[in-house]
């Protein structure tokens, strides 16, 4: 497994958006590591999902850009959101999600991530294809309240291939892009509790 992580980290970015909500009381952690400054845009992150029932899950992440070893000169982000799965068919799940992202260091404006469409194509019990298309806007703090930029400020999109390695362990890789960048390879290792 360590070899898979190290090999895949040469193209690490981040992968965690699917159209399938966690079941009530279920917990998942998705991890990506960018060792040895191998990817200049790479992230080190842990993304947590927790099912709260009726197709809802709360989720969030903590992220550190750049090398895993330099803790003082890095960019840190946090995100917290909620996902609602609104369709569950034999081969397709669909959901929407919305959340708040904050860059902590260096301090930056807060972003509204979503609303968006998330999907999961259920190929078989050990393989699925998932991804998203989500809008992004900035939230500015002004005297007397908050102001948001138009919801079409930008977007992110992602497509990933997910493979169950064991009953609790999954490996995912795919492609991520946003309105300001080029498509980037991504990966995560996902563990289900």
Q: What pTM was computed for the model?
A: 0.80
Task: Summarize the confidence of residues 50-78 as an average pLDDT.
Answer: 82
- Say what the pLDDT of residue 44 is: 79
- Say what the pLDDT of residue 124 is: 93
Residue 74: closest CA among 86, 84, 64? 64
Q: In this structure, what are the phi and psi dihedrals at residue 36, rounded to the nearest 5 degrees?
A: 60, 25
- Say what the pLDDT of residue 184 is: 80
For the chain, what percent of residues have pLDDT higher than 90? 39
Task: Summarize the confidence of residues 38-59 as an average pLDDT.
Answer: 84
pLDDT over 60 (residue 152): no
Q: Do residues 85 and 55 make contact, with C-beta atoms less than 8 angstroms apart? A: yes
Kindly list the structural domains of the chain, giving each domain's residue range(s) and its CATH number in brackets, ordered by start: 2-192 (2.40.160)
Q: Which residues contact 161 (CB under 8 A, 6 or more apart)?
A: 127, 128, 129, 172, 173, 174
pLDDT over 90 (residue 151): no
**Confidence band (pLDDT; 50, 70, 90) for 182?**
confident
**Rg of the chain in Å (alpha carbons):** 16
Using DSSP, state whether 137 is helix, strand or coil: strand
pLDDT in tens, 100-127: 988 776 667 688 888 889 999 999 989 9
Residue 19: closest CA among 121, 156, 157? 121
Structure-block tokens of residue 103 = 């860059």
d(CA 129, CA 119): 8
Structure-block tokens of residue 1 = 């497994």
């Amino acid at each position: 497994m360590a070899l898979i992580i190290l090999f895949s980290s040469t193209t690490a970015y981040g992968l965690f958006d699917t159209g399938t909500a966690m079941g009530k009381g279920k917990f998942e952690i998705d991890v990506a590591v960018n060792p040895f400054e191998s990817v200049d845009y790479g992230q080190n992150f842990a993304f947590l999902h927790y099912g709260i029932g009726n197709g809802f899950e709360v989720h969030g992440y903590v992220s550190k850009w750049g090398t895993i070893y330099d803790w003082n000169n890095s960019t840190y982000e946090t995100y917290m959101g909620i996902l609602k799965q609104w369709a569950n068919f034999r081969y397709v799940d669909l959901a929407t999600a919305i959340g708040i992202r904050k860059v902590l260091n260096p301090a930056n404006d807060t972003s509204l991530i979503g609303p968006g469409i998330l999907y999961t194509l259920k190929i078989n019990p050990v393989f699925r294809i998932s991804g998203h298309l989500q809008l992004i806007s900035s939230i500015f703090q002004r005297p007397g309240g908050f102001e948001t930029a138009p919801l079409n400020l930008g977007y992110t999109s992602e497509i990933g291939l997910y493979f169950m390695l064991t009953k609790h362990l999954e490996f995912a890789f795919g492609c991520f892009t946003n309105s300001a960048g080029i498509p980037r390879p991504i990966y995560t290792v996902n563990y289900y509790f």
